Amino acid sequence: PKAGLEDVVAGTSEICFIDGHEGRLLYHGYDIHDLVAHSTFEETVFLLFHNRLPSRQELADFDAALRAERALPPQGLSLLATLPASAHPMALLRTMVSALGLYDPDGEDNSPEASRRKALRLTAQMATLVAAIGRHRDGKAPIAPDRGLAHAADFLYMLQGRAPDPADARVFDAALIMHADHELNASTFAARVTAGTLSDLYSAVTSAVGALKGPLHGGANEAVMRMLREIDDPERAEAYVKQALAQKRKIMGFGHRVYRTEDPRATHLRRYSLEVGERHGDTRWYRMSRRIEEVVLAEKGLFPNVDFFSASTYYMLGIPLDLFTPVFAVSRISGWCAHILEQYGNNRLIRPRAQYVGPTRETYIPLDER
Ligand code: COA
């Protein structure tokens, strides 16, 4: 087998389709470009959970249910207050997701109805949790959700303490739509492997958060912003990239296991990076990103992935750098839950084989004779 299970089809799913050659991304048949143009995060979550678009009434009910579930249990908030503020936010998130399972009234109930309730609850609470983690790190008290705000706007409010500019909230809503699912990416696969043992939803999501934490997956958006800050000046971008490539270093935010052309999400995030930069009077990060993009394409033939322009977009939205990966989870929780529910719905234990390449006829030598 190819290393890293490249191109291995590991199961069937009707949630998400990626055509890596044509650069197409569909959620149950709906093109990501149409969803970005017309949908909301709430409607996209409904689509992922139910494999169809909601009616107006269904969407209103689903949205109301998400708003009603957004508050964190008080025990969860008390626990967070005791955790080290200096820890990486993804480590805090991993611990807190696991802990929320302890306080969920449906905790160990793995019936289909209870799992659906947990999926909705955790999707709603992820935004509140990440905002609370962001504030905890600055020594600030958490802000309770505002039921009057849509999911994306409420996250920015709970993080920053003021209702966001509606145009910023719309950009963040689109970013949530674009990050919601992506087939069998590493964290979703991890979630399905855990769900496949018939473990509970919180255990499966905790596995996913651990996988998302790594720099080759969700950690890349944070690494992109660190690189942009290190370069600091668009004029220096070309020399920086050329030197990094000469040293065989990877440029974060480029390349993809599946896409061989532009990631369709990058097309929108490039536009948003400019739009938000202009609105906030600072297009430096956008200009620097564009220069890096040109050089990496010319030198390596690599296209930006979802993480590249989301970095400068989030930065201009005022999201702190080390919250970028948890923000990925604010959206991807919906895809994880959709895949976990799908796994439960037609489960068989996921247990592949390894091609054994070690010796087979070793002679055991007792310890004191070695
Ligand atoms: N910068 C420079 N070179 C890169 C690169 C990058 N970001 N991504 C891939 N390459 C090169 C590799 O060095 C390799 O070149 P070689 O054949 O000369 O050795 C070739 O492209 C294939 O890369 P490989 O690492 O085998 O691809 P993969 O499918 O295993 O990895 C990623 C996919 C996404 C992990 C990889 O592209 C990467 O590390 N990107 C940066 C991290 C990132 O942005 N992750 C977020 C993904 S959404």
Task: Give the residue, out of 179, 183, 250, with the most ligand 1 atoms within 8 A of its beta carbon, to mutate for a pocket test.
Answer: 250
Q: Which atom of ligand 1 is nearest to the CA of 245?
A: 2
Closest CA to 101 of 200, 224, 5: 200
The 8-class DSSP code of residue 54 comes to P
Q: Which residues contact 232 (CB under 8 A, 6 or more apart)?
A: none
101 in ligand 1 pocket by Cβ < 6 Å?
A: no
Q: Which atom of ligand 1 is nearest to the CA of 3?
A: 30
Closest CA to 134 of 280, 322, 261: 322
The pLDDT assigned to 1 comes to: 77
Task: Tell me which residue has tokens 């290190």.
Answer: 230
Residue 32 pLDDT exceeds 80: yes
1 in ligand 1 pocket by Cβ < 6 Å?
A: no
Is 230 or 2 the better-scoring residue by pLDDT? 230
pLDDT for 172-215, tens place per residue?
Answer: 999 999 999 999 999 999 999 999 999 999 999 999 999 999 98
Q: Residue 293 C-alpha to ligand 1 middle, in angstroms?
A: 15
The pLDDT assigned to 306 comes to: 93
The CA angle 61-13-326, to the nearest 5 degrees, is 65
252 in ligand 1 pocket by Cβ < 6 Å?
A: yes
Q: In sequence order, what are the beta bridge partners of 17? A: 26
Q: Kind and range of the H or E element at 309?
A: helix 306-316
263 in ligand 1 pocket by Cβ < 6 Å?
A: no
The residue from 136, 179, 182, 256 that is catalytic is 256
Q: Residue 257 C-alpha to ligand 1 middle, in angstroms?
A: 8
Task: Tell me which residue has tokens 């934490």.
Answer: 213
Residue 203: C-alpha distances to residues 69, 89, 199, 356 (Å): 20, 19, 6, 29
Q: Please report which confidence band the pLDDT of residue 232 belongs to, taking 50, 70 and 90 as the band edges.
A: very high
The pLDDT assigned to 219 comes to: 87
CA distance 272 to 364: 63
Q: State in Å, rounded, how far the first CA of the chain is from the last one.
A: 35
Closest CA to 292 of 240, 255, 248: 240
Q: In sequence order, what are the beta bridge partners of 26? A: 17, 31
Residue 216 pLDDT exceeds 90: no
Closest CA to 46 of 20, 27, 68: 27
Active site residue 307: yes
Residue 130 pLDDT exceeds 90: yes
Residue nearest to atom 3 of ligand 1 (CA): 250
Active site residue 282: no
pLDDT for 142-159, tens place per residue?
Answer: 999 999 999 999 999 999
Q: Amino acid identity of 211?
A: A
Burial of 34 (0-12, 13-18, 19+ CB in 10 A): exposed
Residue 125: C-alpha distances to residues 72, 76, 158, 235 (Å): 6, 11, 12, 42
Task: Give the residue, out of 254, 308, 309, 328, with the most ligand 1 atoms within 8 A of its beta carbon, to mutate for a pocket test.
Answer: 254
CA distance 339 to 60: 23
Question: Sign of the C-alpha dihedral, residues 268, 19, 182, 66?
Answer: positive
pLDDT for 288-319, tens place per residue?
Answer: 999 999 999 999 999 999 999 999 999 999 99
Closest CA to 205 of 87, 22, 333: 333
> Residue 302 in contact with residue 254, Cβ under 8 Å?
yes
Question: Sign of the C-alpha dihedral, residues 151, 156, 158, 164?
Answer: negative
257 in ligand 1 pocket by Cβ < 6 Å?
A: yes
Q: Residue 302 C-alpha to ligand 1 middle, in angstroms?
A: 9
